[in-house]
Amino acid sequence: MDVASDKQRIRARKLTDFVRQEALSLGFDLCRITAPDSIPLAPERLRQFLDKGYHGTMAWMEETEARRAEPKTLWGDVRSIVMFGLNYGPEEDPRGVLSKPDKAAISVYARNRDYHDVIKGRLKEIATRFAARAGEDVKVFVDTAPVMEKPLAAAAGLGWQGKHTNLVSRTHGSWLFLGSMFTTADLCLDEAEKDHCGSCRACLDACPTAAFPAPYQLDARRCISYLTIEHKGPIPHEFRPMIGNRIYGCDDCLAACPWNKFAASASEMKLQAREDLKEPSIAFLLTLDDAAFRSFFSGSPVKRIGRNRFIRNVLIAAGNSRDRQFLEQCKALSERDPSPEVRGMAAWALSRLMDREEFRTYSATRAPETDPEAEMEWQLAEA
């Protein structure tokens, strides 16, 4: 009988039970554990993604490839990885706002406080208590670090990566925030979850821009979440009409997942959506200057993209609405806004709100545009 091995197993079980109890006490809905070498296919899949250029302008994905693909490259001493899941499922189908062209659609995850701050704060509490109990080193990560959270979460058994590439849970559908704690402690490992997508392709068919070249593959360059959040500068013309009134992210593929109907009820510690971010009016959002934007979106992840990029998105929604109530606001932005990005997109919006002759007449009387890209928007709209 190996007494030392028995003691190690008992210690691992006690520490595992402890971290799970802490996770539940701080509002996490799921907590499971995997090993740092549990995602052997991840490096090659990441390389294929990058080789095809599916990451678009997200250069940081290439820059952090080695650390992202292999957890031990990120931290050589890690022995166990604890994955946490927090339910953020909406109370209603978020696609309802898409049929209201005078309203703006903000992705469900961004309708409340910035989840990075909330989850990291909770993880730090768990890590502090765990380190004190275990006498081991710990590190916590939430999305912004080069950690492949979705493959690790699948390996830990929180769910599986669906055909839309996001994590799907049998108990929470496609609505889970993820966080991780790396530790030098040996913990009890969980089994990976099996893929339960079957022949379903609801998420793939729901995508407005056909951003999935194949099941389990995402071309971010066509994804509305990428275009409205990560992409800088003018959004390619071909995608603008498809964006509709989605001004920050897109929930269509997530909301289409049939597993959402099995989602467990929300916990008391779930992040609650701000009422004023569920269906904000486009007219109001077009009034936001930089100070008003920062104030209105204080504590929200929307704030991170900055006012100019945000108003660019709102102008696309205004143009797609075909509603002339936004005409004067778009004219004012095209003439006087300090941002060339905003002025250029306002020109495009006006071309959608006016008929052809009205737009050409208005364009002929406007003040000269000093920015080449903004001027190009006027020329393309007149063509």
Is 188 labelled as part of a ligand binding site?
A: no
Is 31 labelled as part of a ligand binding site?
A: no
**What is residue 140's three-state secondary structure?**
strand
**How would you list the strands of the sheet with 138-141, edge to edge?**
30-34, 80-87, 176-183, 138-141
Task: Give dist(CA 332, CA 352) in Å, integer.
Answer: 16
Pairing of β 246-248 and β 105-106? parallel
Catalytic residue among 143, 186, 195, 323: 143
Task: Give dist(CA 103, CA 98) in Å, integer.
Answer: 8
Would you state the structure tokens that stand for residue 215, as one six-digit string? 């099941």
**What is residue 119's three-state secondary structure?**
helix
CA distances from 270 to 40, 115, 178 (A): 33, 11, 13
Is 194 labelled as part of a ligand binding site?
A: no
Would you state the structure tokens that stand for residue 204, as one six-digit string? 């793939």
Residue (of 167, 114, 312) closest to 229 by Cα position: 312
Is 195 labelled as part of a ligand binding site?
A: no
The CA-CA-CA angle for residues 376, 381, 383, to 5°, reads 95
3-class secondary structure for 161-173? ECCCCCEEECCCE
Residue (of 243, 305, 247, 307) closest to 281 by Cα position: 247
- Mention every residue, 6+ apart, whose C-beta is less than 8 A from residue 339: 307, 308, 311
143 in active site: yes
- Mention every residue, 6+ apart, whose C-beta is less than 8 A from residue 381: 347, 348, 350, 351, 359, 363
Is 207 labelled as part of a ligand binding site?
A: yes
Is 167 labelled as part of a ligand binding site?
A: yes
Is 330 labelled as part of a ligand binding site?
A: no
Is 178 labelled as part of a ligand binding site?
A: yes
Residue (of 78, 98, 95, 93) closest to 35 by Cα position: 78
Q: Which letter, b or e, does each residue of 11-23 get, where b requires 16 or more Cβ atoms within 10 Å of its Cβ?
A: ebeebbebbbebb
Annotation: binding site = 68, 143, 167, 178, 197, 200, 203, 207, 223, 225, 232, 250-251, 253, 257
Annotation: binding site for cob(II)alamin = 68, 143, 167, 178, 225, 250-251
List, by residue number, the catalytic residues.
143
Annotation: binding site for [4Fe-4S] cluster = 197, 200, 203, 207, 223, 250, 253, 257
Annotation: binding site for tRNA = 232
